[in-house]
């Protein structure tokens, strides 16, 4: 399984001949190396309904035919845009032909902002546990620290965890380091930082704060095989 990071919260997973994108915010993302009109996908997983996570989902899904997996409310809204969707909710899991997806809680907002200056309710925000080839990846989405991360770590053998460190809208480095300790992931990668001025952070400082966890800062486009 090959996993690559592409700036902000964008993650790409390649497994079993399938390509899965998580939160493909590409247009307007000054840190990404991907282009919305070129990227391929068989599935798109969305953690919540903010523009910097939904991003280019509709364009990519329409062009590639990718299945969009997200919370049931956001899935319904995106289906009205002509996108093929599969709705889920927190605590639920589903086995797809590309892997197993389980949605965990996340403490954040979830509203989709339209060009007409409307905010559309986007369902509950979530984290994502993705499992395939005997490996498990945890993408926390946008969230603050919560104690049930201990339970997630106890119930799931996490090989790779993507945790937001930007502060202001999500956990900052200190809380994210505590989350890493709760989750007991074999490798921790920081996400959701430096894209905008309010979330400016030094990711190497976060890595230095980890206790008993291996951490690595990924540059956009950098990948790892697990």
Q: pLDDT of 86-116, one tens digit each?
A: 999 999 999 999 999 999 999 999 997 888 8
Residue 222's pLDDT is what? 97
Residue 116's pLDDT is what? 84
Burial of 21 (0-12, 13-18, 19+ CB in 10 A): buried
> CA-to-CA distance for 7 and 32, rounded, in angstroms?
5
Place of tokens 């592409």: 6
Whether residue 117 has pLDDT greater than 90: no
224 SS3 class: strand
The residues pairing with 68 across neighbouring beta strands, listed in sequence order, are: 44, 85
Residue 35's pLDDT is what? 97
- Are 5 and 218 a contacting pair, CB within 8 Å? yes
> CA-to-CA distance for 144 and 88, rounded, in angstroms?
21
Other CB atoms within a 10 A radius of the CB of residue 162 amount to 26
Residues whose CB is less than 8 angstroms from the CB of residue 125 and which lie 6 or more positions away in sequence, other chains included: 47, 48, 49, 71, 106, 107, 108, 109, 110, 141, 142, 143
Whether residue 213 has pLDDT greater than 90: no
C-alpha closest to that of 172 among 196, 152, 202: 202
The reply to whether the predicted model has a pTM over 0.85 is: yes
184 SS3 class: coil
Whether residue 120 has pLDDT greater than 90: no
Please give the C-alpha separations between residue 2 and each of 5, 17, 131, 133, in angstroms, as whole numbers: 10, 11, 13, 11
Residue 114's pLDDT is what? 80
The pLDDT mean for the chain works out to 97
C-alpha closest to that of 129 among 139, 120, 119: 139
Instruction: Give me the helix-helix angle, 57-64 and 72-79, nearest 10°.
Output: 60
Pairing of strands 2-5, 11-15: antiparallel
Please give the C-alpha separations between residue 97 and each of 27, 42, 107, 144, in angstroms, as whole numbers: 29, 10, 29, 31
Top pLDDT among 94 and 212 is at 94
Domains of the chain by start residue, with CATH: 2-218 (3.60.15.10)
Model pLDDT for residues 168-197, shown as the tens digit of each residue: 999 999 999 999 999 999 999 999 999 999
Model pLDDT for residues 11-27, shown as the tens digit of each residue: 999 999 999 999 999 99
Mean of pLDDT values over 141-145? 98
């Amino acid at each position: 399984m090959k996993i690559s990071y592409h700036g902000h919260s964008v993650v790409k997973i390649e497994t079993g001949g399938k390509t899965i994108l998580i939160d493909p915010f590409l247009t307007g993302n000054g840190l990404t190396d991907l282009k919305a009109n070129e990227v391929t996908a068989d599935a798109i997983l969305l953690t919540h309904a903010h523009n910097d996570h939904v991003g280019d989902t509709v364009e990519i899904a329409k062009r590639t035919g990718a299945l969009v997996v997200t919370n049931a409310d956001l899935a319904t809204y995106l289906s009205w845009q002509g996108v093929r969707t599969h709705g889920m909710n927190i605590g639920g899991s589903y086995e797809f032909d590309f892997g197993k997806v389980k949605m965990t809680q996340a403490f954040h907002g979830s509203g989709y902002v339209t060009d007409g200056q409307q905010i559309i309710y986007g369902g509950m925000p979530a984290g994502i546990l993705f499992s395939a080839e005997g490996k498990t990846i945890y993408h926390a989405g946008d969230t603050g620290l919560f104690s049930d991360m201990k339970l997630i770590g106890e119930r799931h053998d996490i090989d790779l965890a993507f945790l937001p460190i930007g502060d202001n809208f999500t956990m900052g480095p200190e809380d994210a380091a505590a989350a890493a300790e709760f989750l007991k992931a074999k490798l921790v990668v920081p996400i959701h930082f430096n894209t905008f001025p309010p979330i400016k952070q030094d990711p190497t400082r976060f890595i230095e704060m980890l206790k008993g966890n291996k951490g690595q800062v990924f540059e956009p486009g950098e990948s790892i095989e697990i």
